[in-house]
Amino acid sequence: MRTLLAFIDGTARIGAYAAAIMIFAIASLIVAEVICRALLNISLSFAWEFSAYCMAGAVFCGAAYTLRTGGHVQVRLLSSAVSPRFQHWMEVLATAVGVVAAGFLAHALVTFAWLSFQRGAVSPTIDATPLVIPQSAVAFGALLFAIQMAARLVRLLIGEPADDEEPRRSFSVE
């Protein structure tokens, strides 16, 4: 079980690195576009399109890691007013709802990417990018997110800390 949880954490971290690379890719693409337009007077039409795909990929691929490190926003109003025992079970309930919601989201996004693949859907631009490529990244991220949510439920049930607090201390900008 521990090995499995550690493995899931590993996938979340890989997702986060992928998301970080995509964010830097956006910066590079946009800067390249600006330079080309200003100096060479050519517009890199794909820069904006690919940046938008990277944005979509970054949001979803980073979601599992963000969940693991306690980065997603939760309302903790009620839970701070009640006993630790009750608080624990609220946490379990919230995470259980989270498993269902994130699971449905992952299911829907995977089907979405699969349908794009089957239909051979391409973007309505001159680059005609096969949409399955960026949509797979999004579906993959959503899947990692749902799995991490399930792992969180397991952690809560076996009494392990649900959030990895270490990065929160070093990333003080929220």
Partner 1 sequence: MTVVIVITVVAVLALALGVGVWVGLALYTAGIVGLALFRNMPIEKLLPQLSWNVVTTPELIALPMFILMAEILFRSKMSDSLFTGLAPWTTKVPGRLLHVNVLGCTMFAAISGSSAATAATVGRITLTELFKRGYNKDLAMGSLAGAGTLGFLIPPSVILIIYGVLAEASILKLFIAGIVPGLTLAFAYMAWIAFRAGLNPSLVPSEDLNATWIDRFVGLRHLWPAVFLILVVLGSMYGGFASPSEAAAIGVVGALLVSGAQGTLNLDTFGRAALGAVRTTSMIGLIVVGAYFLSIAMGFLGVPRAIANGIASLHLSPFMLILLLLVFYAILGCVLEGLSAIVMTLPITLPLVLQAGFDKIWFGIFLVIVVEMAQITPPVGFNLFVIQGMTGEPIGRIAWATIPFFLIMVGLAITITLFPGLVLFLPENITLRG
Binding site for partner 1 (CB under 8 A): 16, 19-20, 23-24, 26-27, 30-31, 33-34, 38, 48, 51-53, 55-56, 58-60, 62-63, 65-67, 69, 71-80, 90-91, 93-94, 97-98, 101-102, 104-105, 107-109, 111-112, 134-135, 138, 167, 170-174
Least distance in angstroms from the C-beta of 11 to partner 1: 15
Cβ neighbours of 133 (radius 10 Å): 14
CB of 1 to partner 1, least distance (A): 24
Residue 82: CB minimum distance to partner 1, A? 11
Q: Which is nearer to partner 1, 3 or 124 (CB)?
A: 124
Cβ(10)–Cβ(69) below 8 Å: no
R_g (Cα) of the chain, nearest Å: 19
SS (H, E, C) 27-87: HHHHHHHHHHHHHHCCCCHHHHHHHHHHHHHHHHHCHHHHHHCCCCCCCCCHHHCCCHHHH
- Name which of 108 and 158 has its Cβ closer to partner 1: 108
Total Cβ atoms within 10 A of residue 169: 7
CB of 172 to partner 1, least distance (A): 6
Q: CB of residue 124 vs partner 1: minimum separation in angstroms? A: 12
Q: Is the dihedral of CA 68, 18, 24, 56 positive or negative?
A: negative
Residue whose CB is less far from partner 1, 3 or 118:
118
Q: Of 53 and 140, which has the nearer Cβ to partner 1?
A: 53
